[in-house]
Amino acid sequence: MDGLVETAPAKVNLWLNVVGRRADGYHLLNSLVAFSDLADTLEIAPADGLTLAVEGLGAEALSAEADNLVLRAARLLAAETGRTPRAALRLIKRIPMAAGLGGGSADAAAALRGLAELWNIAPADVDLSGLATRLGADVPMCLAGRPAIASGVGEVLEPAPTLPRCGLLLVNPGVPLPTPAVFSARRGPFSPTLQVERAWTDLDSFAAALAVRGNDLTDGAISLQPVVGDVLAVLRRSPGVRYAAMSGSGATCFALYGSVAEAEAVSSGLPVAWWRHAGRLM
C-alpha cells in the first residue's frame, strides 16, 4: 500500500490530582485529559527495513536510536504479530519535548495506529491498548485520542463528559522539568477522588470544576523552576481568561478563553522567549 499520515495531538491535563501511591512507588492519579489542535505528524511508508527521521521543533535533541518511543512501538507491534518491522517513518515535531503535553506518548500511539494499518493487522489480531500500556502510562490515553477521566497510573480510562467549546493557550517557558523530579518535589497529603456528577453546560461551570481540583504537582514544579509560577501569574491576569493551570508535570501551562481569538490576542503579548500555541481543545 501507499504511505499514510497519522496525527499525534498534544495531551492537556485539565486537572491532575495525586490520590495515592502503589507499593512499587508509582503514584495513583485522577486526571481529566483532553487534546489540543496542536499535533505532531508521523508519515509512514513501506520500506525494506525500519528507519526514523525526525525534524521540526527540538529535532536536534531527539534521538532516533533504538530507545526512541516511536521505534519501540514499531518493534513491539511487529514482535507481537510475528512480523519483521519494515517501514520508513518521518516524524515532524511541533509539540515541545518533556513539557507535560505527552508528545512522545502521542507519537508512539500514532505509530501503533499507523503501522497496524500499514501492516494490515486486524483489530482482532492484536491488543493495541495493551501494547500502549507497556510503552508508557500516557500512551493508552493518546491512543484513544478523546477526552477521558484517567485513573490508576494513567492507564485506566473512562469517557469524559462533553467539553464546552473554548479557546486554548499553551505556554512553555523553555525550562526542563523531569517528571520524576516533580513528583518527588510534591508535598502534602493525597487528594480525594471527586466524582464528575454531570456534563458541563458552559465554560464558566467547566472552569469552576477545574478550579476545585487543580494540579497537585504545581507547587513542586514551581519549587524546581520558579518561572512556571511566572507563566501562571501572567496567564491568570490576562484579559478574558476563564481558567489557567499547569498541564501534567509541566513546564507547559494552559489557559482557557471564550474564543480562539481571545487566546491569540493574549499570545501576541507574551515574552518572546516563551513558546506558545493559541488554538482550541479538540
Q: Chunk the chain into consecutive blocks of 10 residues (it has 282) and report each block's average pLDDT, rounded to whole numbers.
A: 90 97 90 97 97 88 72 97 96 92 96 97 94 94 95 91 95 92 93 85 94 97 97 98 96 97 98 97 89
Hey, what domains does the chain have and what are their CATH numbers? 4-158 (3.30.230.10), 161-280 (3.30.70.890)
With 0-12 / 13-18 / 19 or more C-beta atoms within 10 angstroms meaning exposed / middle / buried, residue 245 is buried
- For the annotated catalytic residues, the residue numbers are 11, 138
Cis preceding-peptide flag for 251 (omega within 30 of 0): yes
Question: What pTM value is reported for the model?
Answer: 0.93
Task: Provide the strand spans (E) within the chain.
Answer: 4-21, 27-45, 50-56, 87-93, 148-151, 156-159, 167-172, 243-246, 253-257, 275-280
